[in-house]
Structure 1
């Protein structure tokens, strides 16, 4: 593992030379999960997690299908959302999804469509358990995922609950006006209040070099300056860890103040990098960084068992 400060030393781009970067970039459910499925599939061949990555590709394809087939449910009133934003609160509190009929419907459809999908035996057994859950059981799974409190012994079936919640949360966030979400707190999604999954230095022409953190639930991306801890906001003791001999497009930004880390993907060097899929595929980096004493601040429902 290397401690490399060069990842932060990207070329300066004067704000006057480009459009001011928007605070948030809302998800686009029409291609969010489809692109993720393609990335999982591309990462799988020859990977130590090949079977799991292919399973997640199939799962993402089902999410993509359901996003197109299931109608987006209604949002709170504009007045209510403005009030929440004005008080530095998430506009669409994720806790409310536990009782949302749309989440239960997405879960039912997801489990049904996955029945004929090839998957590891452990995932198959978990799918069968998930399919037997009654309304109370589903709500309990949703609540555990939304509270980041999934029981260790039941991680596998909660993957399906998380996948269903991602569909509904992304549909909700996509309906917002981009100017509505406002900063809430370090490491908190301004739309749903969820934790980050990872971050990326984007390569889009008008905001090239700007860093965005992506929500693990609704996939909203919010602007966060580089060389600043996503978790606690400190600018002290920030370093970049990487696996020696591996492409430097994915690194772990570590903070000595709170001893946490969040991955940062350099999409300027590789536009194919995807915040969720590449986070899973770079599990080896997590193992090295956590062994060195840092705690993961990003949440990925597909990595809860590792």
Structure 2
């Protein structure tokens, strides 16, 4: 557990196990930032209750302000893993309750803070599990500015609020993407589809850069839907980060149906296909289109 030291003159208190990352970084101009390897926090967004905020105790750095659960990263720890770990330690956020949507990085060169924006998929009640909080509360986005905010969170909130309405989703025409690479997929369509979906699942976990989705800044974690058909309909049963849809009939019809469903759910939808006829249909439904090469290049 990361426990930030008290401000000078504050009360002494027990510390948890020390980690090499639990240390101050001093800027060339004298300011101090917590986390030798940087820091990370979680902006958990519940569609009905708002954003989870932590009311920091008086003796903490910028005490008595409101901010996101977060803290110092461990050495070698990803920013996403650090944000989820800190949120679990400080606010009792259950493992698996958050679906990552984007990473926003504030980087000074010598220190960085990364905010993981994630959607609550399993509702939970936060619990104070360390001495760093006065209280935890779900706060509607429109009411956040009414509270005294930690300066770091206050400076990033305007930018973060602007992207909360963006929820990207990618629908993959698996048959079309497989057909774009002559690697012998025709000998085992289900096996080739399994391999492709496994690679997409890895991409779903690592995220993709903003310009790949024609978005500004950040690293995004779209919702991925892979549509399979014909002999490949049994593929993807082990995929954990991809929603696999087996088309009962026409694959094109199933892809269009998924695009329509996601557009209606206020997603920013990209359909991956090089089929011109299908591209016209999903464009008319409000989705953007990327060719198969776009995905194969992302997959490396």
Same-fold call, TM > 0.5? no
**How does the TM-score come out when normalised to structure 2?**
0.25
Higher relative contact order (CA 8 A, sep 6+): 1
Return the structure number with greater helix share: 1
Higher gyration radius (CA): 2
Q: Which has the higher strand share?
A: 2
